[in-house]
Structure 1
Amino acid sequence: MENYFKGKNVEEEIERSKIPFKDIPENFLWMQVKGGSKMTNLISHATGILEDKATTAIVWTGAGVAIAKAISCAEILKRQFSIQHQVTTLTYKSVEEYWEPKLDGLETIIVKRQIPVIHILLSLQEISDVNQLGYQSPLSKKFWEKVPSNNSKQQQSFKAKKSYKQRKIENQE
């Protein structure tokens, strides 16, 4: 590839009308996350819209390197507003890279790639089609909350380990 330089990129644009969700409210907020987007700006904008009750649904979209940032923004907002309903889908967008020759006699190389795109729908209202692919039902209990244990042996071994650690610390002093 030393005989070529990178020319233009032609990317398929993500359009609001092509967001792949069924029965999405018409006044939803669409947050397009880019690689250089600041999470604080994105979250504060979405928070303001939700607090004003201007919408009940938000779609977070991120492509390529912005996928992780889109997921993080959606999770932060979901926890901040206790949003119970979520649908997540993955799609792809096409990108064509044009590599122009540095030497005469060589042809332009066109590289076609598929870039992954994530769409996360968060809704304050119940979603009508709970059987659609990517739907996450509301959890009755959060995974980080303690579950009462009936296993007394497990509790005893934990106490034994704790007392051993305490004895070790006391011996060091």
Structure 2
Amino acid sequence: MENYSKGKNVEEELERDKIPIKDLPDNFLWMQVKGGSKMANLLSHASGIFEDKAATAVVWSGAGAAISKAISCAEILKRQFSIEHQVTKLSYKMVEEFWEPKVDGLETLVVKRQIPIIHILLSVEALPDINQIGYQSLKGKKFWQKEQSSNSKQHQSYKSKKPFKQKKT
């Protein structure tokens, strides 16, 4: 690659109509998270919209390195407002990288890559299709509440027993 220098990038732009979540609410807030976005700015904007009740749903979208930031923002907002309904979808966007030759006689190289994208819909109101892939619900529980199951009761009784001691031989 020493004979080439990086040229331009051509990226497929994200569009509101192409979010791969079915039955999106009509009036939702779309937060496009970029790698350089400040989480405090993103969260304060989304929190303001939710507090004013201007929207009851938000879609967080992040591509490539911004995926983890989009997930963090969605989780913080979900817990801040006790949002019960979530749909998560993954998709890809195409990026073409052009590499220009430094030496005469070489052709321009075009490298095509697929960049992963995450879309997270958070909705205060119930969604029409709860059977779609990627749907999650808190079902009225707060995130800090634990569900008591028979396994956890067994685990607690196991912990209360005296530890096993090996015999010295």
TM category (shorter chain) comes to: 0.7 to 0.9
Are the equivalent residues in 1 in contact too, given 2:20–2:89 (CA < 8 A)?
Answer: yes
Partner of 2:96: 96
Instruction: Indicate the SS of the match to 2:153.
Output: coil
Partner of 1:31: 31
Query: Which ranges of structure 2 fall in alignment gaps of 5 or more residues?
Result: 164-169
Letter aligned with residue 154 of structure 1: K
Deviations 1:47-79 (A, max 9, x none): 000000001000000000000000000000000
Partner of 2:5: 5
Deviation at 1:138, TM superposition (A): 2.1
Q: Based on CA coordinates, which of the two structures has the bigger radius of gyration?
A: 1
Deviations 1:107-165 (A, max 9, x none): 0000000000000000000011011111113256547637473553422448xxxxxxx
1:154 aligned onto 2:159? yes
Partner of 1:18: 18
Partner of 2:146: 145
Partner of 1:69: 69
Deviation at 1:27, TM superposition (A): 1.1
Instruction: Indicate the SS of the match to 2:112.
Output: strand
Distance 1:105 1:140, change over 3 A: same
TM-score by length of 2: 0.87
Residues of 2 paired with 1:18 and 1:97: CA distance? 23
Deviates more, 1:30-39 or 1:131-140: 131-140
Query: Which ranges of structure 1 fall in alignment gaps of 5 or more residues?
Result: 159-173
Residues of 1 paired with 2:120 and 2:66: CA distance? 13
Deviation at 1:2, TM superposition (A): 0.2
Partner of 1:169: none
Partner of 1:55: 55
Distance 1:153 1:115, change over 3 A: closer
Deviation at 1:12, TM superposition (A): 0.2
Which structure has greater helix proportion?
Answer: 1
Residues of 2 paired with 1:27 and 1:103: CA distance? 53
Distance 1:146 1:154, change over 3 A: farther
Are the equivalent residues in 1 in contact too, given 2:84–2:140 (CA < 8 A)?
Answer: no
TM-score by length of 1: 0.85
Residues of 2 paired with 1:24 and 1:61: CA distance? 14
Partner of 2:123: 123
Partner of 2:167: none
Letter aligned with residue 145 of structure 1: K
RMSD: 2.0
